[in-house]
Structure formats: C-alpha cells, structure tokens
Amino acid sequence: MPSVKNPNKPSRNRMAARAATKRKQQKKHSADGRHKTDRIAKADTKRGARPGLMPTSGPRAPLSAKKQKKVLQRMTLAVKRKMEANGGKLPENVADANPAAAVETNEEMADADIQ
C-alpha cells in the first residue's frame, strides 16, 4: 500500500506561502509605523516611498524628463498668452526669469492642471 499524505491538512507549500505572505505584510506594517517619524505620508508609503525615495506614482512622484518638457512648454505658452493680453508687457506674477526653476517649485500644481 503506497504512503499518502494526510489530505485533511494544508500542504507544506501552502503553509510556506501563507507564512511568506504574513511575513511580507508584517514587514510592510512595521515599516509604515517607522516612516511616520520621517514624515512620509501613508499613501506615499503604499506607492513605494521610503526615507530616501520619492513615491513611484501619485501627485508627489517626481516628473519624468518628458513630462517636465511638456510642463515647461505649457508654462511658457501661458506666459506668452498673458503677454499678448497685456499688450506685450510681462505679467506681474511672473517673478522668475528662468522658467525651469519655476517648474521644479510648481510641479505639483502643474501636474494637477494637466490631469
């Protein structure tokens, strides 16, 4: 008579998979608690943010070079439209001569305008 495992208990693979899942979840939950002292938002930790890393998606994710170029183009076109509306004068709210510096400071606002 061949030996057969007990069918009424979970298999060794299933138990190992369950333990690995629990271990990963516990690690993630404990990391969430640690990052609160570093002032990283819970939503950002869910998107991959860690004390030295920005999130990979969402509003606080860094802009790609392609998206930075698009935002810069849209900002310069908006300034040109305002100049044409003012009769060729520079608007009062444009303080920076370098629009690239403005992109870095206003990337969240610009990202919200695009979407």
- One-letter amino acid for residue 89 of the chain: K
**Could you report the per-residue pLDDT of 15-40, keeping only the tens digit for each?**
999 999 999 988 877 766 665 556 77
If you write DSSP's letter for every residue of 39-75 in order, what string do you get? T--HHHHHTT-BTTB--SSSTTSPPPHHHHHHHHHHH
pLDDT (0 to 100) of residue 35: 56
Report how far residue 73's alpha carbon sits from residue 100's, in angstroms, rounded to the nearest whole number.
10
**Could you report the per-residue pLDDT of 59-72, keeping only the tens digit for each?**
888 888 999 999 99
Question: How many CA atoms lie within 13 Å of 43's alpha carbon, on the beta-carbon side?
Answer: 5
- One-letter amino acid for residue 50 of the chain: R
**Could you report the per-residue pLDDT of 94-110, keeping only the tens digit for each?**
655 555 555 555 555 54
pLDDT (0 to 100) of residue 72: 94
